[in-house]
Amino acid sequence: MLADVLGLTAEEADTYRILVSVASATPTGLAELVGRDILQVWRVLGRLEDRGLVARSLGDTTRFVAAPPAVALQASLARRQNELDVARLELDSLDEVYRAATLGRGAAEVVDVIHGSEAISERVGHMQLGARKEVMNFVKAPFFSPRNMTGEAVTERGVRCRVIVERAMVDGGTLPFDDILRARDSGEMVRIAETLPLKLFIVDSELAIVPLLGSARAAKEGALLVHECSLLDALIALFEAEWEKATPFAASADALPGAPAVGDLGAQILGLMLAGLTDQAIATQLRTSARTVQRRISQMMAAARVQNRMQLGFRAARLGWIDTGPDNA
């Protein structure tokens, strides 16, 4: 930690940490404690002395003592904080320049072509790392990147992530149920659509990536990077329209009024059923049997006092049996 935060080398951090734990020590004694050559220890002590982290003992100049951490390290921390503040100001300034340049793009510059699946994956990764407000994602094969969903590192920064998964991805097992659960647990909002018109990845309503052509092979080989323009506005509107039509994904029955009648497995079965999956596909995703799925659906129909699955869907929504989590946001 000292090495990372204060810019010390591993040798310097180890030596200072050990010296803090003893009243004083000679270079020879320190060499034994840190397990390094005496000449290395002398060099390290010299650097630490220059930084004000160690000093020679007043009573015996052959011994070294550590400067009080609260005093010595506070100055270093303040210096690093100042450096971070300056870097942040510089980034803000560069961001303003970038935005000004983006707004000044000509008609031929609002769309860039990315060639090759590796380049597409790399660009998607960079866009995720740079996301500040929101990521909107259509999950449809073939994928833009090795990760199907958006990624925990994005949601951990407080970025809003909305994902629409094409039903065939779940029905055919291409996208494991566990991946969706992990995405939900990390804060992503997940919905399932019957079909999606294209693959789409939008960040902060400023950049979008769409396939260059419609075929699966062409989608792997090229994509369009769309900057702020009317085309990007249309893509955002398309996402919002699909989001409204998509089915919220049920993951659990926690804290729901009807939870005792449903349970987590029931909520998951119900959510996948409403998304249009067959009993066998649901059983495969939940690692259970089709008979268990059918039995749980029958139990929920009895609890809801309905005669068929369509009625169950309407009744379940009224009873609050479907956990849509943050998707209502």
- The CATH number assigned to the domain holding 205 equals 3.30.870.10
pLDDT digits (tens, 9 = 90+) for 68-92: 877 666 766 777 777 777 777 777 7
**Tokens 């065939």, residue located:** 168
**What pLDDT was estimated at residue 201?**
92
- Looking at the fold, whether 130 and 223 belong to one and the same domain comes out as yes
- Looking at the fold, whether 235 and 123 belong to one and the same domain comes out as yes
What is the rounded average pLDDT of the residues 33-57? 85
Return the structure tokens found at 204. 């902060």
Whole-number pLDDT of residue 256: 43
Same domain? For 234 and 271 the reply is no
267 shares a domain with 228: no
Domain final position from 184, 212, 247: 247
Residues 129 and 89 in one domain: no
pLDDT tops 50 at residue 230: yes
Same domain, 222 and 123: yes
Shared domain for 212 and 269, answered yes or no, is: no
Closest listed residue to residue 9, CA positions, set 57, 55, 46: 46
Beta pairing partners, 25:
64
Predicted TM-score of the model (pTM): 0.55
Residue 180 has pLDDT above 50, yes or no: yes
The reply to whether 190 and 241 lie within a common domain is yes
Q: Is residue 168 part of a domain?
A: yes
240 C-beta neighbours (distance < 10 Å), count: 11
Rounded CA-CA distance 29/36 in Å is 10
Choose between 216 and 80: higher pLDDT: 80
Percent of all residues in the chain with a pLDDT value above 90, rounded to a whole number: 9
Specify which residues 134 forms β-bridges with. Answer: 160
Selection from 93-97, 271-275, 276-280 with the highest mean pLDDT = 276-280
Q: Token pair for residue 13? A: 């951090």
Q: Is 295 among the domain residues? A: yes
Q: Considering only 3-12, 52-61, 135-144, 223-232, which range has the smallest mean pLDDT?
A: 3-12
Residue 20 forms part of a structural domain: yes
- Say what the pLDDT of residue 203 is: 93
Domain that residue 152 falls in: 113-247
Residue of 182, 229, 201, 205 whose CA lies nearest to 139: 201
* Residue 264 included in any domain: yes
Question: Among the three residues 225, 247, 269, which one is the final residue of a domain in this structure?
Answer: 247
CATH label of the domain that carries residue 319: 1.10.10.10
Tokens linked to 296: 């749980």
In a domain, 298, yes or no: yes
Spatial contact of 227 and 124, defined as CB atoms under 8 Å apart: no
- Residue 273 in any domain: the answer is yes
Average pLDDT of span 136-141: 86
The amino acid present at 303, given as its one-letter code, is A
> Do 121 and 235 reside in the same domain of the chain?
yes
User: Do 146 and 243 fall within a single domain?
Assistant: yes
Is the residue at 253 inside a domain? no
